[in-house]
A and B are shown apart, each in its own frame.
Chain A
Amino acid sequence: MQLANSENAAKDGVGMPEKTGNLTTESKAGRTPMVVARDVDVFYGDKQALFGIDMDILPNEVTALIGPSGCGKSTFLRCLNRMNDVIEGCRVEGRISVDGQDIFDRALDVVHLRARVGMVFQKPNPFPKSVFDNVAYGPKIHGLSSSKDELEEIVMTSLEKAGLIEEVKDRLHQPGTGLSGGQQQRLCIARAIAIQPEVILMDEPCSALDPIATAKIEELIDELRENYTIVIVTHNMQQAARVSQRTAFFHLGKLLEFGDTDQIFTNPSVERTRDYITGRFG
């Protein structure tokens, strides 16, 4: 799906003049960006899906990536923890660093990167294991706990941080797949934060959920901002406006506008952004 959309985007983009807009990439006073992307191009085979993306993502903020389907926002998100590596024929060019570390550096193992950049997917995807084992999986494979008690503590803390502990404390050893959709997604968030990442990537985490479950996740995202840097892809304008501090607008594989959420939603500087936000296309 992702692949096909991006291909279309690239196809449509050919020969269409686009002004790149004014990119607000300057870092705010006293805060070094957590993620820095410079001139990132992504190709699927010979189709280009992203064109020269520059972006600074600040720590302890929620950055929302918005834009019409196939604009490359998910592709960009997946660059940040190199999930695109597993897609055959996908090629990423440019530089991305997380916390000062070049993620394409040969010396950096992708396992290390993914331990530092967690991910929550569009469809809640708990493992077909118990609630406990779902959360414990990350710490186990990375060896984060030295004892059973420590592991249990990590699991409990993560479930608590994900706001799930009250609902699952009696069914820790029942399958995680038996939870409701919203609970499953929070379980996935708990699973992601159990390995103490610095950045959490969320790819439309609420698109498969009902409004109440969505509200809970949004609340959770706001709380998680305290400790983590969050990048969220969303199709929902209101959600972007509600949860994010900064918003990036992608269109046809290009980053058209990037700035404070308030400014993007009230006074966008690019016409396309205004059209998209007001629902003229998308």
Chain B
Amino acid sequence: MSDTAGTGTVKTGLPRKNINEVVSAGIRRRYAAERRFRAYGLAAIGFAIFALTTLLVTIVGTGYSAFTQTMLELEITLYPQDIDPEGNRDPKVLSTANYQALVRQSLRDLFPEVTTRQERRRLNGLVSDGATFQVRRAVLDDPSIIGQRISILVPMSDDIDQFMKGHISAEVPESDRRVSDQEIAWLERLQDRNLVHRTFNWTFFTSGDSREPELAGIWGALVGSLLTMSVTLALAFPLAVATAIYLEEFAPKNRWTDLIEVNINNLAAVPSIVFGLLGLAVFLNFFGLPRSAPLVGGMVLALMTLPTIIIAARASIKAVPPWIREAALGLGASRMQVVFQHTLPLAMPGILTGTIIGMAQALGETAPLLMIGMIAFIVDIPQGVTDPATVLPVQVFLWSDAPERAFVERTSAAIMVLLSFLIVMNAFAIYLRKRFERRW
């Protein structure tokens, strides 16, 4: 049976060498190869950590300042004759009153020496247009404050905000600067009176997009992403798992199923923009579904995610040991029972891993959504899957393209929100996987 070298009794017909010599000559090479491989691995990990750290430091370093906003404390007298001349507190009247004039009046009160039109316009430019909305909201929330003199925090304009954060330098010649010497002088006087505050930027987390950076928020895109992902998950997960089960457990192995398998694998490699074109042609033009809607976005991304989940699900179903199936079949379980009571629970961790990879891919996808109109500038927070919406990566793309200096930090902040969203999603998947995991 055994005619290996080393068992001295067997005649092999080969010249006998000292086996130790042969082995020790090779052994050093073997160990060297192993050490080299480990070194490559360490180097790769080191480089990855360096790259990741650089990326994170850059993003956080640029983006953290977007989480605060420079606010101006304004004393505003809410004259009843301006807001509600008839005095019946009709909400319609209240919401259409000229609050802008009140805000401007309050600014003029602070700087009585400013008289020329041009100067006044620049003075008004210190605070954001959002100040008007802020005052209106305060009045609508509590109409009883009409007639009083209130103190209210209003956002300052994006250029002033950037100047306060040090992103616009005072050293630059005035002609190249977005903030004039005059404005800086006003700002210093306001600071002397302790009216300028830096607060947490709630607006960024609670509002939709805006042309004004200081009013722009991520919430609209976040809700859009959430709705889109829900549609994607609801469509792709059941369909993909059912497909994988059918192909693995029920379908006969023949040319047709081979063809289907090849096609599914190819589908995973199709550029995502093609799925966007398909969505445009089929979902929008043929079925007439609404444009820019998370429903259609979710459907397109589901198509894109399907092959990823199918491939992962098939692999993990295949990895369930056959004797589990035999044991259940031997007890008289039907094939359906075997699949749903044994195979699927054991394959679930792998399926979930595949799903999360697919969903993470879908979350970061921009190209196919451009084709179906999710790139539109949308201010309102979407209320449902058919409302116009945008998603986080598209929002990042839009802001990165905006000319205002304040959008630079907001772009990075949006990336941070996107990454956090991803981390939350992954954490949830890991939790689910741990719950489903069974050892045997």
Taking a contact as CB atoms closer than 8 A, the residue among B324, B327, B341, B439 that contacts A175 in the complex is: B439
Residues of A116-132 at the interface with B, using a CB-CB cut-off of 8 Å, are 118-119, 121, 123, 125-129
Residues of B within 8 A of A121 (CB): 323, 326-327, 330
Taking a contact as CB atoms closer than 8 A, the residue among A88, A118, A177 that contacts B331 in the complex is: A118
Stretch at the interface among B78-86, B122-130, B196-204, B332-340: B332-340
Q: Count chain A CB atoms within 10 A of each CB in B324, B326, B341, B438 and give the residue with the most.
A: B326
Shortest distance from the beta carbon of A171 to any chain B beta carbon, whole Å: 16
Residues of A193-252 at the interface with B, using a CB-CB cut-off of 8 Å, are 195
As a 0/1 sequence over residues 143 to 170 of chain A, the CB contacts with chain B under 8 angstroms (1 = contact) are 0000000000000000000000000000
Shortest distance from the beta carbon of B349 to any chain A beta carbon, whole Å: 12
Residues of A within 8 A of B31 (CB): none
Taking a contact as CB atoms closer than 8 A, the residue among A111, A119, A125, A128 that contacts B439 in the complex is: A128
Taking a contact as CB atoms closer than 8 A, the residue among A86, A115, A129, A188 that contacts B332 in the complex is: A115
Stretch at the interface among A59-67, A99-107, A134-142, A258-266: A134-142
Shortest distance from the beta carbon of A99 to any chain B beta carbon, whole Å: 16
**Minimum CB distance partner of A137 in chain B:** B331
Interface membership of B170, Cβ < 8 A: no
Question: In the complex, are the beta carbons of B327 and A142 less than 8 A apart?
Answer: no
Residues of B within 8 A of A88 (CB): 253
Residues of B within 8 A of A83 (CB): 326, 329-330
Taking a contact as CB atoms closer than 8 A, the residue among A119, A141, A142, A175 that contacts B330 in the complex is: A119
**Minimum CB distance partner of B326 in chain A:** A121
**Minimum CB distance partner of A201 in chain B:** B330
Interface membership of A81, Cβ < 8 A: yes
Question: In the complex, are the beta carbons of A127 and B328 less than 8 A apart?
Answer: yes
As a 0/1 sequence over residues 345 to 380 of chain B, the CB contacts with chain A under 8 angstroms (1 = contact) are 010000000000000000000000000000000000
A128 to B347, CA, bound (A): 12
Question: In the complex, are the beta carbons of A86 and B329 less than 8 A apart?
Answer: yes
As a 0/1 sequence over residues 163 to 186 of chain B, the CB contacts with chain A under 8 angstroms (1 = contact) are 000000000000000000000000
Question: In the complex, are the beta carbons of B331 and A195 less than 8 A apart?
Answer: yes
Taking a contact as CB atoms closer than 8 A, the residue among A111, A118, A125, A137 that contacts B334 in the complex is: A111
A141 to B340, CA, bound (A): 12
A2 to B346, CA, bound (A): 25
Shortest distance from the beta carbon of B143 to any chain A beta carbon, whole Å: 63
Residues of B within 8 A of A254 (CB): none
Question: In the complex, are the beta carbons of B323 and A192 less than 8 A apart?
Answer: no
Question: In the complex, are the beta carbons of A141 and B337 less than 8 A apart?
Answer: yes
Residues of B within 8 A of A175 (CB): 439-440
Tally A-B pairs: CB < 8 A.
67
Interface membership of A114, Cβ < 8 A: yes
Taking a contact as CB atoms closer than 8 A, the residue among B329, B331, B333 that contacts A192 in the complex is: B331
Interface membership of B318, Cβ < 8 A: no
Interface membership of B108, Cβ < 8 A: no
Question: In the complex, are the beta carbons of A141 and B326 less than 8 A apart?
Answer: no
Residues of B within 8 A of A188 (CB): 327
Residues of A within 8 A of B324 (CB): 125, 127-128
Taking a contact as CB atoms closer than 8 A, the residue among A112, A127, A191, A192 that contacts B342 in the complex is: A127
Question: In the complex, are the beta carbons of B346 and A128 less than 8 A apart?
Answer: yes
Residues of B within 8 A of A126 (CB): 327, 440
Residues of A within 8 A of B325 (CB): 86
Shortest distance from the beta carbon of A186 to any chain B beta carbon, whole Å: 14
Shortest distance from the beta carbon of B248 to any chain A beta carbon, whole Å: 13
Question: In the complex, are the beta carbons of B440 and A128 less than 8 A apart?
Answer: yes
Question: In the complex, are the beta carbons of B326 and A125 less than 8 A apart?
Answer: yes
Shortest distance from the beta carbon of A88 to any chain B beta carbon, whole Å: 7
Q: Count chain B CB atoms within 10 A of each CB in A113, A115, A127, A142 and give the residue with the most.
A: A127
As a 0/1 sequence over residues 414 to 440 of chain B, the CB contacts with chain A under 8 angstroms (1 = contact) are 000000000000000000000000111
A129 to B440, CA, bound (A): 9
Residues of A within 8 A of B341 (CB): 137, 141
Residues of A within 8 A of B438 (CB): 128-129
**Minimum CB distance partner of A89 in chain B:** B253
Q: Count chain B CB atoms within 10 A of each CB in A111, A115, A123 and give the residue with the most.
A: A111
Shortest distance from the beta carbon of A162 to any chain B beta carbon, whole Å: 15
Q: Count chain A CB atoms within 10 A of each CB in B328, B331, B337, B438 and give the residue with the most.
A: B331
**Minimum CB distance partner of B325 in chain A:** A86
Residues of B within 8 A of A142 (CB): 332
**Minimum CB distance partner of A85 in chain B:** B329
Residues of A within 8 A of B440 (CB): 126-128, 175, 177
Residues of A within 8 A of B334 (CB): 111
Residues of A within 8 A of B439 (CB): 128, 175, 177
Shortest distance from the beta carbon of A26 to any chain B beta carbon, whole Å: 31
Question: In the complex, are the beta carbons of B327 and A114 less than 8 A apart?
Answer: no
Shortest distance from the beta carbon of A238 to any chain B beta carbon, whole Å: 24
Shortest distance from the beta carbon of B101 to any chain A beta carbon, whole Å: 73
Question: In the complex, are the beta carbons of B323 and A123 less than 8 A apart?
Answer: yes
Residues of B within 8 A of A138 (CB): 331-332
Q: Count chain A CB atoms within 10 A of each CB in B329, B330, B333, B341 and give the residue with the most.
A: B330
A125-B323 CB under 8 A given contacts A141-B337, A175-B439:
yes
**Minimum CB distance partner of B330 in chain A:** A119
Residues of A within 8 A of B330 (CB): 81, 83, 114, 118-119, 121, 192
**Minimum CB distance partner of A134 in chain B:** B327
**Minimum CB distance partner of B345 in chain A:** A128
A192 to B333, CA, bound (A): 12
A111-B327 CB under 8 A given contacts A127-B342, A128-B438:
no
Question: In the complex, are the beta carbons of B329 and A114 less than 8 A apart?
Answer: yes
A128 to B342, CA, bound (A): 9
As a 0/1 sequence over residues 141 to 165 of chain B, the CB contacts with chain A under 8 angstroms (1 = contact) are 0000000000000000000000000
Residues of B within 8 A of A123 (CB): 323
**Minimum CB distance partner of A139 in chain B:** B331
Residues of B within 8 A of A127 (CB): 324, 327-328, 342, 440
A142 to B333, CA, bound (A): 8
A110 to B21, CA, bound (A): 63
Taking a contact as CB atoms closer than 8 A, the residue among B323, B332, B342 that contacts A111 in the complex is: B332
Shortest distance from the beta carbon of B151 to any chain A beta carbon, whole Å: 65
**Minimum CB distance partner of A82 in chain B:** B329
Closest 10 CB pairs of A and B: A114-B332, A128-B440, A119-B330, A125-B323, A115-B332, A128-B438, A138-B331, A177-B440, A125-B327, A111-B332
B-to-A contact residues, CB < 8 Å: 253, 323-334, 337, 341-342, 346, 438-440
A-B residue pairs in contact (CB < 8 Å), sample of 11: A86-B325, A113-B332, A121-B330, A126-B327, A127-B440, A128-B324, A128-B439, A138-B332, A141-B332, A141-B341, A142-B332
